[in-house]
Structure 1
Amino acid sequence: MAKWDNMLSMLWMLRSGRKLTAAQIADSLEISVRTVYRYIDALCASGVPVVAEAGHDGGVRILDSFKETPLFFNAMELKALVDAYKFAQGAGYPYAEELESALKKVENGLHEEQRHDLFRQTNGLDVISPARPPSVVPLLRELEQAAQEGYTVRIAYRKEKAEQADEREVDPYGLAYDRNEWYMAAFCHQAHAIRTFRVDRIERLELTEAKFVKPDHFSASAYFRVQSERNRESEEPPIVIQIEGEPDALNALCSHWHLRHYVMERTDRDVRFLLDAATMNKYLPMYLITFGTSIRIREPQELKHTIKEMAYRIARNCEEDDSA
């Protein structure tokens, strides 16, 4: 059993109110008496009032005034908490301030050596966040609350490249963070269907008195996956597309807004997608040719042939320009 598990087990034993000897604790946890005394020192350092009394009726006990059970984290668990806060802050998580406050409470319970070690462990990782309008965080809070309580909201939403925003009423079903942006999946009263809205394009939001009932088991992430699946060009059985290449090129392929939903398997050297032939032939050749020699198509042969023909036509076109 790990050190922290043993310490918690010992704490629970002592909280029963019984006075136990170090030998009894050691026997129960299958550790040495010397280790028991090390754990007692560690508990005391964490603020637990453990008292060890000598003599015939002596033993180990906790003062009656103790009410709280401390949280024990090892170095890597503490590092994970701090790093998670950095990622949440970088994503524009609407409760980053509350997360920071909770993290400070954890840090306040550490002794000086632990704080120094935590700083050393987390000093090498930073998350560079994209610039976001300051209104996004309060919008996310209001939208999440409306989704939880089932209130329809009225929004002024400006579509991409639109000169001005238009008003509509929507029932917010859920929020999702995707490709460094926050999205809302909501039932649009104007379209009479579920639609997605980029939160940073909402210029104004009003809570209405109208109530709605969200569909059972609705998931924003599942909705996004379904929408991507519907963008397939045909209902034919999908085929395997295998691409080898340099890590940066494969990373770009796997993070593509559409292709990432069809990744079957990824290694350091190649990636396999499962995609229908119609979608593959319509979109992939033009996209894949932009990667030049950083990738190699292994299968299917149909895709390889299409890209070869496209490259040949581009080369011939350049030759004709040179001879003109």
Structure 2
Amino acid sequence: MAKWDNMLSMLWMLRSGKKLTAAQIADSLEISVRTVYRYIDALCASGVPVVAESGHDGGVRILESFKETPLFFNTVELKALVDAFKFAQGAGYPYTEELESALKKVESGLHEEQRHELTRQTSGLDVIAPVLPPSVVPLLRDLEQAEKDGRTVRIAYRKANVEQAEEREVDPHGLAYDRNLWYAVAFCHRSQAVRTFRVDRITRLEQTEAYFEKPERFSASAYFRDQSEQGRESDGPLIVIRIEGEPDTLNAVCGHWHLRHYLQERTDREARFLLDIPTMDKYLPMYMLTFGTAIRILEPLELKHRIQEMAHGIAKHYEADSNH
């Protein structure tokens, strides 16, 4: 363990209020007693009133006047904070500037040795950010503020494959980040139902004078899960679906917006799902066909046979074309 991590651990041990001997601290941290006394000197130099008393009832303690311990992080915790900032920045998190400012405050309190170690620990990880329209960040802030205030907003929303944006009023209930995209979950006044809106397809947003009351304990992620459940064709019976393939291909299958909710088990080369038969019959043959020979259906036989029939039908279709 690094020097500053050991010092931090010792500080938290002493904060318990118990008087500990140097030998007890050394045993706990697996360091020498001599090193414990060096750490005591370093903590005192940093302004922490550590006292080492000799004698039968002696020991190491922190003076009661030291009520508030400064905020310290060990090396791995600091690395986690920096890495989390990289992921947030890559996702288009709307408060990355504030997060960066907070991180700089933390880093400003580090010793030079800690800064050097932090740079070394975090230099090997980068997050390649998806390309997001520059309007997404202010839209996310405005949508979140509208959700907090309970304020209805008017948006111009452009659906997929539609050039003209449509205007509608919505009550934002929450935001969700899914598969490199931001979504607003909101009650749509036009459809009189809760809907999801891709934030990058919102071309304009403005506040209205209307207010709404958000449902208690609303969760955007729970809404997504519920929508997936409702997409099932039937409540049963359920059937096991086993798919074999390369890891990258299985990642795509398991990450499908609908299938991922029914994933039961995953290994490097195989994925196991539990799904109702009507949904399997309606959606999976065509979807699995798109992966060609990159995957293999291990079970059930019904799904394998259906894909074989579809592939044979496609082959016959193009055989007829080649005869002309």
Assess if the C-alpha contact under 8 Å between 2:254 and 2:263 holds in 1.
yes
| Distance verdict in 2 for CA 1:263–1:108, change over 3 Å | same
* Percent of aligned pairs sharing the same letter: 68
Assess if the C-alpha contact under 8 Å between 1:6 and 1:29 holds in 2.
no
Match of 1:182 in 2: 182
Deviation at 1:161, TM superposition (A): 2.8
| Distance verdict in 2 for CA 1:8–1:158, change over 3 Å | same
Deviations 1:11-42 (A, max 9, x none): 4539xxxxx7x74x655896575354243245
Q: How do 1:15-164 residues align onto structure 2 when only pairs under 5 Å count? A: 23=21, 33-44=33-44, 47-50=46-49, 68-164=68-164
Match of 2:17 in 1: 13
| Distance verdict in 2 for CA 1:318–1:34, change over 3 Å | same
Deviations 1:243-288 (A, max 9, x none): 0111111011011222222211111121011222222122211221
Q: Which runs of no fewer than 5 residues in structure 2 stay unpaired?
A: none
Paired residue type of 2:47: V
When structure 1 is superposed on structure 2, of 199-208 and 120-129 the one drifting more is 199-208
In structure 2, what is the Cα distance between the partners aligned to 1:275 and 1:53? Answer: 65
Match of 2:315 in 1: 315
Match of 2:209 in 1: 209
| Distance verdict in 2 for CA 1:126–1:248, change over 3 Å | same
Q: How do 1:169-318 residues align onto structure 2 when only pairs under 5 Å count? A: 169-318=169-318
Deviations 1:179-208 (A, max 9, x none): 211111111122211111111222222223
In structure 2, what is the Cα distance between the partners aligned to 1:217 and 1:55? Answer: 57
**SS of equivalent to 2:290:** helix
Deviation at 1:115, TM superposition (A): 1.5
Paired residue type of 1:238: L
**SS of equivalent to 1:206:** strand
In structure 1, what is the Cα distance between the partners aligned to 2:42 and 2:229? Answer: 54
Deviation at 1:64, TM superposition (A): 9.2
Assess if the C-alpha contact under 8 Å between 1:236 and 1:277 holds in 2.
yes
Deviations 1:207-236 (A, max 9, x none): 233322211211111001111111222333
Deviation at 1:112, TM superposition (A): 1.8
Assess if the C-alpha contact under 8 Å between 1:155 and 1:170 holds in 2.
yes
| Distance verdict in 2 for CA 1:97–1:67, change over 3 Å | farther
TM-score for both structures, normalised by structure 2: 0.85
**SS of equivalent to 1:124:** coil
| Distance verdict in 2 for CA 1:66–1:54, change over 3 Å | closer
In structure 2, what is the Cα distance between the partners aligned to 1:169 and 1:43? Answer: 59
Assess if the C-alpha contact under 8 Å between 1:48 and 1:62 holds in 2.
no
Deviation at 1:301, TM superposition (A): 0.7
TM-score for both structures, normalised by structure 1: 0.85
Assess if the C-alpha contact under 8 Å between 2:151 and 2:212 holds in 1.
yes
Q: Which runs of no fewer than 5 residues in structure 1 stay unpaired?
A: 15-19
| Distance verdict in 2 for CA 1:44–1:136, change over 3 Å | farther
Aligned length: 315
Match of 1:17 in 2: none
| Distance verdict in 2 for CA 1:316–1:153, change over 3 Å | closer
